[in-house]
Amino acid sequence: MKSAILRLYAELNDFLPADRRHTPFSRAFGPGTTVKDLLEGAGVPHTEVDLILANGKPVGFAYAVRDGDRISAYPVFESLDISPLACLRPQPLRQPRFVLDTHLGRLARYLRLLGFDTIYRNNFGDEELARVSAAECRILLTRDAGLLKRSIVTHGYWVRETTIRRQVAEIVRRFDLTSRIALFRRCLRCNALLEPIDKDLIAARLPAMTRLLHREFHICPGCDRIYWRGSHHGRMTRWIEEVLGIGGDSRAIEPPPGKVPPDSWAKPSRLRPRELPGPPTI
């Protein structure tokens, strides 16, 4: 049987057994095998790859592997446009939007907290996730590497971390999102952009002390949920700063010019988060 030498770089090694990481290894293949087949047979989803070299020259996923080829694969450079060289995906996503699988519900809420357009349902099937990702040009975030091997998925990422604090930091770092963060501008429940609303229009829905202490309110046009700057607004902001390593510089999480986030962070039916270590409850 024919074989090729495969070498994976950087985080692509996460998909390999320990003895094959960061070193060339031989992989057998049959007739008609493409480089995409070769990589995914080794466990690497094509969505994680942005540059492939065959014998030192860039090739696409459809490249037919030949006996003795030396194949090098490099991870996605989401913050660097290498499309003139690689041509592996239709185009880099310059406005990152996400769709998350059913295992990442908490991460979805925190991405919305940071201001990112994030679709999540706890009953998404694999086929629907792949279809939504492809049709709406959304980055598919998942803990199931197999899901990313579906051919219609062009932008996706296998989330390595398992705790929410590390997951948030991983995604922000991986997609270079720090400069795009705009806190408290989306509804955590339905993802819609919040809108300011006159206090008099919702006064009957507010607790007595909230009416007395707060003046600025926002409402979700999708689910009618009301938000305002609650007592744990500052705690949420500090937690985000710590997770992202901002070091208390609030300017680093200000919205882009011309985009003002809501001054709100509570709702009538929500109890205050418990004072426990780790992320604030949202």
Helices (H), 214-278: 233-244
Residue 120: name the closest of 93, 134, 139 by CA. 139
The number of beta carbons lying within 10 Å of the beta carbon of residue 66 is: 12
Alpha-carbon distance values, 116 to 1, 13, 19, 166 (Å): 48, 28, 38, 17
The predicted pLDDT at position 82 comes to 56
Q: Work out whether strand 118-120 and strand 98-100 pair parallel, antiparallel, or are unpaired.
A: parallel
**Domain residue limits, the chain:** 2-86, 98-172, 181-282
Which stretches of the chain are assigned E, i.e. beta strand?
A: 2-8, 25-29, 49-54, 57-58, 70-75, 98-100, 118-120, 139-142, 156-158, 195-197, 217-219, 226-227
Classify domain 2-86 by CATH architecture.
Answer: Roll (3.10)
The number of beta carbons lying within 10 Å of the beta carbon of residue 230 is: 19
The predicted pLDDT at position 246 comes to 59
The predicted pLDDT at position 240 comes to 86
Low-confidence ranges of the chain (pLDDT < 70): 77-94, 246-282
The predicted pLDDT at position 80 comes to 57
Per-residue model confidence as pLDDT tens digits over 50-103: 899 999 999 999 999 999 999 999 997 655 555 556 556 656 566 899 999 999
The predicted pLDDT at position 74 comes to 93
Q: How far apart are CA 15 and CA 50, in angstroms?
A: 15
If you count DSSP H runs as helices and E runs as strands, how many of each does the chain have, helices first?
A: 8, 12
Return the SS3 of 172. Answer: helix
The predicted pLDDT at position 146 comes to 96
46's tokens: 């094509």
